[in-house]
Structure 1
């Protein structure tokens, strides 16, 4: 029997992914935009709808980076509202574990899970920079190992809070004076990162624990996912890279007493459809040029060069000056954290070999269209990834807000259903049902702590 494909929808609205010059693009803040994409995803029987999070407006050369969209609503608030206009679609929020506290995050996620009837998910992320930390009382930042240690204990603490109410603790009839047992909600956690005790005031979520998502690709991130996540986002969009990542992460699960089916690997991908393969390729090239405007190309290069390059022609050759490897000119963008000197070296080599201008190089280096072709060829390619263990499914990031998934749901999803590799309808009410995940046992977090 073929593997079943999992699909998710990412709401675009920041970076240069969305083509804002397209007349079909609408607001990234208006609730109607969120509703449109969520309803489209639910019509397509997607597993979940995903919102990213940003805790500070990014800056370039000391000013707000206005090529980004300046403004992003808080994820859990939006998803709470969407729970009222959807019935089966999972609702996944990115919530930071570096600048939040377990009690409040656990309470908010439990609330969304209750409001939605068991459809909440939490994408656990960490922050690496003091720039973001300036928005918070604690300030500062954590070293790489420390932020994952905090994230792991943060998650385990949240699970203890959810488990502090057993499944039978919800009052049957509070109006008649029938309340939960006296011990309901009692917790005490004393660890390296958190020392808290009291009573948790949100009953155990319908799913037991909301679904946990993780997106790290480092060694620490992969270990965190293998130990604690239900879904991991992947950046590996080719068959070869996807299979290597899949094998590596799935191979880590046994050390934590978990099965391969307990963790779903879902790369973030895009798509472009056309009537023919040539038509699709032409459309994809047009979209890439719209996403990488001349201004975006220069700004992107500045992030790696660490210099003001505004005097350079985006349609001309790469700068002939060496990068400044100091603090740089970009604040709040993780992509510029790596070995910038090596990146510049590789880009010079690529541009020289192919005669690429600045803009052409950035288009090549940031290519995003994973699936380009006719509806039939895209459906076949999606299926190939999953059946050959390069992924368990995909998180689609459309280039239009909010109608960017319309064509996928209308033309590709029916072909996947026809192939018998994607559901014709939801078979259960919760996100764990959609993903085929086992429910956590009540008290599992407590048992984990005692075993350690």
Structure 2
């Protein structure tokens, strides 16, 4: 495929579950009312996005023994929301984040197959794992899973789910053998299913006929070596967080290289970093807006809480407008419950200190600079050009847009940037197929072929 013809893939992440949402903005609405989900989904479909993405939260986070002050009470269950959205959208993919640690393969395979049927082939599963005993307290198995086992359970979980979906045969094959399934009316003869493995033992028959996609699209988020390998072996889309063109290109090349060992072609895994965007009529206006948004996202309180998650100690006595603490983090301490502590605390602290000293930044300013996602900031023309270049340079296959407003945070992008991407030939002007696999250019189960 030539670089000139490489198309951008776009997805919409629903905001409203963490401090990146700017609740002080008068345009900010409920993160629970169905009208909010419907607004963002309809906007994404109007913009011809590939899919709509919902995160997951299984327990309210705590900090220093208290409910996290900035956490949001009320995160509806993803599959329930997406089944409702299937009735008010026609082509938009519907992606739910569901944990493999606290669910069972048969039940979850059935739920995703149901969504795929109800939506006409638009279901996607963002596979996440947990070794967090704090979250596990909400479940019967509370925290039993060792951290080292989370990906082995996830890999077996996905394999079992796909086996269940395959057990119902494929379109036009009475014996159930793969024939290069395409979208349409499913068929085939069901057959018994049996699996015996380290984490699961199942024997029976799946309760639904083959769904339009055969397998719902599998998404995975993870930047560790283990996560990259899991994505290369299992996922259709990987949700990343790399913040620069150079880091994106390195990640892209590394993950795409890994696909060959699993007999997969590079186009069978789409790499889509989560990004933010700020538009302005001029570059200066966009930069000014971006600075104000980041200040609203990282309040003085948020800055100290973020620092405490790394240092592992109470820093409430420090001035958020003052310098970073002169003490080292406690690598064995953990004030935050329900949050992942990314990386080596001592290494992160050293990196942040170097940044603070180099630029003369306070605690709050350091957190703002160090925790920002890859952002596109500028005029609509500049943002369209930068996005197109990012994809053309093999730093990504597309982007999952994370707006800072609920639910109208994508309105301007769809109205002002999407038409410019289309003029460049970098984005579709119409959906070309009914299913999410069609949108993403992914093969159907048993099928290998080139797509635009």
Range class of TM-score, shorter chain: over 0.9
How far is 1:140 from its partner? Answer: 1.8
Question: Superposition pairs for residues 407-446 of structure 1, below 5 Å?
Answer: 407-441=412-446
Q: Where does residue 166 of structure 1 map in the other structure?
A: 169
Q: Where does residue 327 of structure 1 map in the other structure?
A: 333
Distance 1:141 1:414, change over 3 A: farther
Aligned partners of 1:50 and 1:93 also within 8 Å: yes
Q: Distance in 1 between matches of 2:332 and 2:230?
A: 31
Q: Where does residue 139 of structure 1 map in the other structure?
A: 142
Could you list the runs of 5+ residues in structure 1 that have no partner in the other structure?
172-179, 445-452
1:147-169 deviations in Å (ceiling 9; x for gaps)? 11111110010011111111359
Q: Distance in 2 between matches of 1:132 and 1:234?
A: 23
What is the aligned counterpart of 1:104 among 89, 104, 107?
A: 107
Equivalences, count: 433
Q: Where does residue 379 of structure 1 map in the other structure?
A: 384
Please give the secondary structure, in 2, of the residue aligned with 1:360. helix
Q: Distance in 1 between matches of 2:206 and 2:221?
A: 28
Q: Where does residue 7 of structure 1 map in the other structure?
A: 10
Q: Which moved more, 1:57-66 or 1:160-169?
A: 160-169
Q: TM-score, normalised by structure 1?
A: 0.93
Q: TM-score, normalised by structure 2?
A: 0.93
Q: Where does residue 243 of structure 2 map in the other structure?
A: 237
Question: Superposition pairs for residues 347-426 of structure 1, below 5 Å?
Answer: 347-368=352-373, 370-426=375-431
How far is 1:170 from its partner? Answer: 12
Please give the secondary structure, in 1, of the residue aligned with 2:321. coil
Q: Which moved more, 1:360-369 or 1:199-208?
A: 360-369
How far is 1:204 from its partner? Answer: 1.3
Question: Is residue 157 of structure 2 the alignment partner of residue 154 of structure 1?
Answer: yes
Q: Distance in 2 between matches of 1:194 and 1:318?
A: 48
How far is 1:380 from its partner? Answer: 0.3
Aligned partners of 2:312 and 2:329 also within 8 Å: yes
How far is 1:369 from its partner? Answer: 5.3
Question: Is residue 202 of structure 2 the alignment partner of residue 199 of structure 1?
Answer: no
Q: Distance in 1 between matches of 2:299 and 2:173?
A: 55
1:214-235 deviations in Å (ceiling 9; x for gaps)? 1111111111111111111111
What is the aligned counterpart of 2:20 among 11, 17, 21?
A: 17
Q: Distance in 1 between matches of 2:144 and 2:121?
A: 34
1:415-444 deviations in Å (ceiling 9; x for gaps)? 0001111111101100000001111039x9
Q: Distance in 1 between matches of 2:408 and 2:399?
A: 18
Q: Distance in 1 between matches of 2:437 and 2:116?
A: 11
What is the aligned counterpart of 2:222 among 216, 226, 249?
A: 216
Q: Where does residue 260 of structure 2 map in the other structure?
A: 254
Could you list the runs of 5+ residues in structure 2 that have no partner in the other structure?
175-186
Aligned partners of 1:284 and 1:369 also within 8 Å: no
How far is 1:256 from its partner? Answer: 0.9
Q: Where does residue 179 of structure 2 map in the other structure?
A: none
Q: Where does residue 176 of structure 1 map in the other structure?
A: none
Distance 1:380 1:168, change over 3 A: closer
Q: Distance in 2 between matches of 1:305 and 1:246?
A: 31
